[in-house]
């Protein structure tokens, strides 16, 4: 017997503003690919911390607001609902801020290096 389709809602089950930690929900995982929902409620990267990921990442902001900073050129991007950004592997970046209310909801697609 084969499994039927799965479904969900990216805006359901959101924590209240001021939650202590971000929430990461893996929606789909396959070799070379991971899709996750990230819910931020005012969190930011710790001072001096930079993400330096081994694979490419594509993120779209579904609700809320966020500010990303990229180390190269000290470039800053302000994101609102519907904005997306592609972050190539090893491009150092950090989350400067996220909106708490309404929650900042991201859809992140991670591609492992070498995946097509």
pLDDT band, very low/low/confident/very high, at 84 (cuts 50, 70, 90):
very high
Query: Which structural domains are found in the chain, ordered by start?
Result: 23-111 (2.60.120.10)
Question: Is residue 17 within a helix (H) or strand (E), and if so which, with residue range?
Answer: none
pLDDT one-digit tens code per residue, 31-67: 999 999 999 999 999 999 999 999 999 999 999 999 9
Q: Is 17 exposed, middle or buried (0-12, 13-18, 19+ CB in 10 A)?
A: middle
- Please tell me the distance from the alpha carbon of residue 80 to that of residue 91, in angstroms, as a whole number: 21
Give the C-alpha separation, 68 to 75, whole Å.
8
pLDDT at 116 over 60: no
- Does pLDDT of 25 surpass 90? yes
């Amino acid at each position: 017997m084969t499994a039927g389709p799965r479904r969900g809602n990216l805006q359901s089950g959101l924590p209240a503003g001021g939650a202590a930690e971000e929430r990461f929900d893996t929606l789909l995982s396959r070799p070379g690919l991971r899709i996750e929902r990230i819910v931020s409620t005012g969190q930011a990267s710790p001072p001096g911390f930079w993400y330096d990921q081994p694979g490419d990442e594509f993120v779209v902001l579904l609700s809320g607001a966020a500010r990303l900073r990229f180390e190269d050129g000290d470039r800053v991007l302000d994101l609102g609902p519907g904005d997306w950004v592609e972050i190539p592997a090893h491009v150092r970046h950090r989350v400067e801020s996220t909106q708490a209310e309404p929650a900042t909801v991201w859809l992140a697609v991670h591609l492992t290096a070498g995946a097509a």
